[in-house]
Each structure stands twice: as C-alpha cells, then as structure tokens.
Structure 1
Amino acid sequence: MAQDLRGALVGFCNPLLDISAVVDDKLLSEYGLKANDAIMADEKHLPLFQTLIDKYDAKFLPGGSAQNTLRGAQLLLPEGSAVFIGAVGKDENAQRLKDAADKAKLRTNYMVHPDKPTGTCALLITGHDRSMVANLSAAEKYDFSHAKDPENWKDIEAARFYYITGFFFAVSPDTIEAVAKHALENNKTFTMNLSAPFVAEFFTAHVEKTLPYINILFSNETEAEALSKALKLGTSDIKQIAKRVADMPRAGSKPRLVVFTQGAGNTVVASSDSDEARLYGVKPVPHEEIGDTNGAGDAFVAGFLAEYMQGKPLDTCIEAGHWLGGQVVRQVGPNYPEGELKFVPSGSFAPALEKI
C-alpha cells in the first residue's frame, strides 16, 4: 500500500525571483563579490540588479533556495506532498514564482505584503561558478503571525517533515523556533541547511539555539568550515566537523545526521550514533554538459528528502541527491529538466567508511 504523503513536507525560506546573467570577473570586482558565494544585498549592491537587466542577457528564473528544493522534491513525490511558505509582494514577480511552483504541482502558502515588492536575487555566472546577491524586500517581512494563524498552522500540524534554510534566520527566527519545537514534541523530522557562510558567521547564536532540534543538517564544505570557526570546533577537516556537529547536544532521542556536500568531491555523512564517516563519491557530469552549478545544492536536498520521506535507506537518499543535482547542473539556472522526473536507484551505490 502506497504511503500517504499528502502535505507531509513543509518548507520555509525567502521566495525570490532570480535575475541570472553570465558576467565577467570585472563586474564581480566592481561590486566586491566572490565567484562562488551568497550574500545579502546592501545599499552598494542595489544598482547591480538593473545593471544585469540593462547591460547583460539577463533571464528571470524562479528562485529562493527552499522553494527550489521543494519544487524538486514535489516533482519526485506524489502530488500534494509538499507545501512552501514565505512572503512575496503583490506584483507580477510573485505570480511568476507561483506559476513555476504550480508547474511542479508544489502548493504555496504565501504571506502577501501589500507594499513591498517580491524579493529578487542576482545570479552572476562566471564559468561554472555563481555569485548570489539577494535583495529580500517582501521576503524579509515574513512574520510569525502568518505561520501561527490557525488556518496556516494546519499545514504545520499536517506535516511530518520540515525543511528550513539558514537564510530564514535573518527573517523569522521565531518561526524556526516554533516549528522546531513542534517537530520535537510530536516526534517529527526537522531539517535545516546552513545555506551560506555568513549564516554561521552572523547568526551564530540562532544556529546554536536551533541545533539541538535539528535531525538532519545539510551544508556544503565552505559553509561547514564557517560553522566550525563560528562554533570554535578547532578543526578544518570536513569529516571531523561533520562528526563534531553530529555529536553536539540534542533535544529528544533521535540521532542527528550531518550531510556535507563538496561539489564534485565526496559527500561526507556523519551521525551521532556512529563513529564512522560515510564518504560518497559523486558521478562526474561531463564538462561539456554543464550549464552552471546554480541550484545544484538545492536539488541535492530535494532528491535526498524525496527518498528519505519514503523510508528509503541512507545510501539511496544520497544517490538520489547526487542524481538530481546532476540533472540541474545540466540546466542554466536552478531549473529542473522538462518532462517527468523519475529516480531509479542503481542498487550498487555504497560509501567508503572511515573511522573518525
């Protein structure tokens, strides 16, 4: 009998319309940007968005990290499995985001801000790298009052899995705390993504406060290193960071899983109930097939969660994440391939085990 997953996954983040363009290093330098980074826009970055539209071949793409993840997960899950929550403006860009979600059959429950425009994210593509600059605007105005409204809290109560990005610490830590506590009190699964190095650096207190509730933590290697520095873990070794974070105090009895991706390098997985790190090799995407790497991390989490929610083994979850990430890097921007997406596990995907 098929598992009932209706409304099983709820995600929170900042819904943003991506403005994507291939640029040169000179433009990055002009705005003080790194080739593979994610930051919040400040006043000096605001002209950048119009510059991309006026001077480059800019494309408008549906974005926002968790919304990208939930779109991908929903494409692999039965219809109605996922719900995304965040704040948008009352404008055309909000409709563009909703249309993209509708296409993936992802249900959205937006808080609509009457005065602020929908947030945007500049994606500056240099080679296979991408630099992201987010202007949150309406997304920044998401308020916990929306989540706790009885009609909206029904989505939280119905869900069994939660996914929130670290970006949301800058917007509504109250929402994160409430959802995390609900998950703990009801024996549900609470997952988060560090999302960007600045999250660990500037929101350390929020990360430390939330970590006991996190059952699965996702990150890439640069975010993991930033976390190690912020928490004073005393190591830059990715395997050691993963294990030390997995072993930090937990609320409740569930073990904590820590999953660190490293692009084309091994994905590192550590758990609080094992003294071995699992190292999963990534099947390389041929260089000529790569569009850009934007959205690959979001897609990895999407593939992982889609299998995890269906009770599949960890090896299968990781393989699905790698597979879906590989599909997205073949596109331009955080897009999924057209047509039906179906993951078929190889049956022979296994990690190398290393004592830590």
Structure 2
Amino acid sequence: MGLFERYLTLWVALGIAAGVALGVVMPGFFQTIAGIEIAHVNLIVAVLIWVMIYPMMIQIDWSSIKDVGKKPRGLVLTLVVNWLIKPFTMAALGVLFFKVVFAPWVDPQSASEYIAGMILLGVAPCTAMVFVWSQLVKGDASYTLVQVSVNDLIMIFAFAPIAAFLLGVTDVTVPWQTLLLSTILYVVLPLVAGVLTRHALQQRSPTAVGDFVARLKPWSITGLIATVVLLFGFQAQTILDKPLVIAMIAVPLLLQTYGIFLLSWVGARLLKLPHDIAGPACLIGTSNFFELAVAVAISLFGLHSGAALATVVGVLVEVPVMLSLVALVNRWGKQAPAARLAQATGHGPQGPLA
C-alpha cells in the first residue's frame, strides 16, 4: 500500500477538521461552492466524485461482465439487503429512538421529520462512492458495476413507492432530474471515459492499464479527501450549532450502518462468496445515495427542516464509518485464506468467506 492508502483514515480525519474550520472561517466561499448546482446536484462535488471513481472504471473488464449471470449470488444478496431489509430497519430504528428513547428531549414534530430523513437515506442505496469502497477492498470492478447498475434501475421504480409507504404519505415527489443527472454524472460519464481509456491503453502494452491506474491512485484519494472537506465545510455551522441533535441522529444511523453490514457479511459467508464479490456486495448495501436523499428531503420538507438535517447527518457519518468497514472487510478477507487452509487440513473452523 502507498502512503495515501496506508494512512487514509488520518487524511480523512484531517479533512473533516479542515472542512469544519474552513467552513467557519470562510462561510461565503462554501456558500458560493454550494450554489454551483443543477437539480440539487453540486457540480464541484460531482467532479471530485468523478475523479475518485474514474480509476475504478478503467479497471472494468467488459469481457467478464457477460459471466456475472453465472454467479448471481452476490447480486441477489445486494438486492435483498437494499430493497427488502434496509429501508424497513432504518424506519424501525428511527421510530424506536425518536418516538421512545429520545422522546423526552425531542418535540413530536421534529422527531417525525428526523425519522423521515432517515427513511429517505434508507431507501437510497449508494451509486457513486461505492466504486471507491470497492477499489479499496480490491473488489471485482466488473461485478460492482453490474450491482450498481441494477440498483439504479430498481431505484427508478421502487424509490417513490417504498418512501411513500414508509413516510405514510401518498404523494412523494421524486426529483427525477436529480436522479437521472446523478446517474449520468456518477456512473455513465466516468464509465464511458474509463472504457475509452482502457481501450487506448491496451493498444499500447499489456501492462499499460495497471501502470496508469497506479499513477492515478493518489488523485483518487485526493478527490475523496477534497469531497470530505467540502461536505463538512458546507455544514460547519450546523455541526457547531446543533451538536446534541446531530449526535442523537447519528446513533440510529450508526447502528443501522454497522447492523446492515454485519447482516450482509453473514449472508456473504452463508452464500460462500469470494472476497472480491462479498466486499462490494456488503458495502453497497451499507452506504447511501445521500445526494438523492438530501434533495428529496429539501423538496418535501424544506431546506431547514429536521428531515433535511437528518440526511445531512447521514453525509457526515458516511465517510468515517465506511472507512472503518473497509478496514474490516480487508482484515477479514486476509483471514479467509488461512481459515480455509485450516479447514482443509482439519485444524480449524470454516473461514469468513470460505
């Protein structure tokens, strides 16, 4: 591992601190950056995410995508977790904490809005950042693309009905421009660029793709840290003004994230998925499409609503939490070969992904 990857957690922590500090010192600058958007999609953040996932797209071997149907278990795991489990557990945790546990300290109207924001996060599985997490756990790039693409397709039809059911309303206005533009910016454009780049590099030499991706890795990590700085800079004053509320919202979000990950990991073990498929499958179900969740919360409840704040807290906790899960995937993945060897020789239990 290079310097950037080895100390990634430290760089992200410094990025969080820098974002909050700069957001307080230079609020006008971040307000200007926040205003550069189309259909609630911030174009600066989109460019930085593009920089992050472009190296991942270059590694996609299109000749192997046709074989995904021969090993559908990883895709099935992702879809079951994303659409049959995650939205409903998120709603249940929101009700438990804000209608019961935190009820003495939160008024009913605010509690309902916080729950609504959490639900919107739960109904929006990740479509962009998961390429970064997949790369960090050495996931199968082609399989990750298929998983994300199928999720995007299902989201177009399932997001509004599930959100409406869980929110208890009959008319959920989905900002289709946001959904479609995000898919184009975060998946389609970098994918096309990656395909063209890979084709051109393969014409040079068999090692050109690997060498080029290796040179891009520092830029990919830099894009991640810059994104963290911007996201925390945008919400710096909110973080300082409402630390208790943010902490209360973060508790069920953290439980949901780690709980869904552990459930997915157990499922991956039972299905005997290989590490390069199990890792991304678990992380896709764990992370959120926060851009869409924030946009829907603002359009339904208003910019300064509790629902919007809850989705923003989802953004705040996502990167640090996902990095911790990446570390777990990598650690457990390293243990798997030794466990398989022990099982084969009769000297140990079955490994996590045997």
Same fold (TM over 0.5): no
Provide TM-score, normalisation by structure 2. 0.24
| Structure with larger Rg | 2
**Higher share of residues assigned strand:** 1
Provide TM-score, normalisation by structure 1. 0.24
Q: Which has the higher contact order (CA 8 A, sep 6+)?
A: 2
